[in-house]
């Protein structure tokens, strides 16, 4: 059993870096957390994750990066029973994209909530127009997430 599966969607590597950083920080906090880039649904279900952390950028005009879209399609098709399990989402985007800002993170989040997963804290959105250090900027939010998940044990 895996306590926290960290899924990532990234076109150019920034979201992957944040996901790797999240794995280090949650592990250091005492959680069994694993970043699983490019994982398929069968392999994910076999790990029986008790919580999901999704870290995704947005690409194109409001699109989910290919590496995450494939998994989201499988989740949509198979509707795994993750009811009641915690979910948390970090979106990387750029506010220059206006109404498409962090659209991929919002889309992934909505899908997982539709499955009955529950929010433990509000989505973190990291704006490339405002920061060039998204991994560091995510640290306080990740510290709060770790505390929430440890409380649920
Ligand atoms: C071609 C391209 C399209 C993008 N489209 C969007 C978008 O629709 N919405 C958004 O919020 N950010 C958009 N961005 C900004 C990226 O999401 C942002 O720079 C992010 O940090 C990139 O992370 P990544 O390296 O993991 O892909 C786009 C960036 C590029 C280069």
pLDDT for position 1: 73
Give residue 152's pLDDT band: very low, low, confident or very high (50, 70, 90). Answer: very high
**Residue 151, in any domain of the structure:** no
Q: Say if CB 68 and CB 104 are below 8 A apart.
A: yes
Tell me the C-alpha to C-alpha distance, in Å, between residue 21 and each of 18, 95, 143. Answer: 5, 23, 12
Ligand 1 and 91: CB distance under 6 A: no
**Residue 74, in any domain of the structure:** yes
pLDDT at residue 24 greater than cutoff 80: yes
**Residue 96, in any domain of the structure:** yes
Between the CA of 57 and the centroid of ligand 1 the distance, in Å, is 6
pLDDT for position 121: 95
> Whose C-alpha lies nearest to ligand 1, atom 17?
93
At 35, which helix (H) or strand (E)?
strand 33-35
Dump pLDDT digits (tens) for 1-12: 799 999 999 999
**Residue 69, in any domain of the structure:** yes
Q: What ligand 1 atom has the least distance to the C-alpha of 63?
A: 8
Please count the helices (runs of H) and the strands (runs of E) in the chain.
Answer: 6, 6
Dump pLDDT digits (tens) for 48-100: 999 999 999 999 999 999 999 999 999 999 999 999 999 999 999 999 999 99
Question: Where in the sequence is the domain holding 122, given as residue range(s)?
Answer: 4-146
**Residue 42, in any domain of the structure:** yes
For the chain, the domain total comes to 1
**Residue 24, in any domain of the structure:** yes
pLDDT for position 23: 98
Nearest-5° Cα angle at 27, 84 to 53: 35
ipTM above 0.90, yes or no: yes
Ligand 1 and 102: CB distance under 6 A: yes
**Residue 44, in any domain of the structure:** yes
pLDDT for position 85: 98
pLDDT at residue 22 greater than cutoff 80: yes
Q: What is the CATH number of the domain that holds 74?
A: 3.40.50.360
- Enumerate the β-bridge partners of residue 110: none
pLDDT for position 147: 98
Dump pLDDT digits (tens) for 117-128: 999 999 999 999
pLDDT for position 51: 98
Give residue 108's pLDDT band: very low, low, confident or very high (50, 70, 90). Answer: very high
**Residue 153, in any domain of the structure:** no
Q: How many CB atoms lie within 10 A of CB 141?
A: 17
């Amino acid at each position: 059993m895996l306590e926290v599966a960290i899924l990532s969607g990234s076109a150019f590597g920034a979201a992957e870096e944040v996901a790797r950083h999240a794995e280090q920080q949650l592990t250091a906090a005492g959680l069994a957390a694993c970043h699983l880039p490019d994982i398929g649904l069968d392999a994910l279900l076999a790990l029986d994750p008790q919580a999901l952390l999704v870290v995704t950028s947005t690409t194109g005009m409001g699109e989910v990066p290919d590496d995450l879209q494939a998994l989201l399609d499988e989740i949509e098709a198979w509707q795994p029973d993750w009811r009641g399990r915690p979910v948390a989402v970090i979106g990387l985007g750029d506010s220059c994209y206006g109404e498409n800002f962090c659209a991929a993170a919002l889309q992934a989040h909505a899908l997982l909530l539709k499955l009955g997963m529950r929010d433990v804290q509000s989505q973190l959105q990291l704006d490339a127009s405002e920061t060039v250090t998204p991994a560091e900027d995510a640290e306080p939010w990740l510290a709060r997430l770790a505390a929430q998940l440890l409380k649920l044990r």
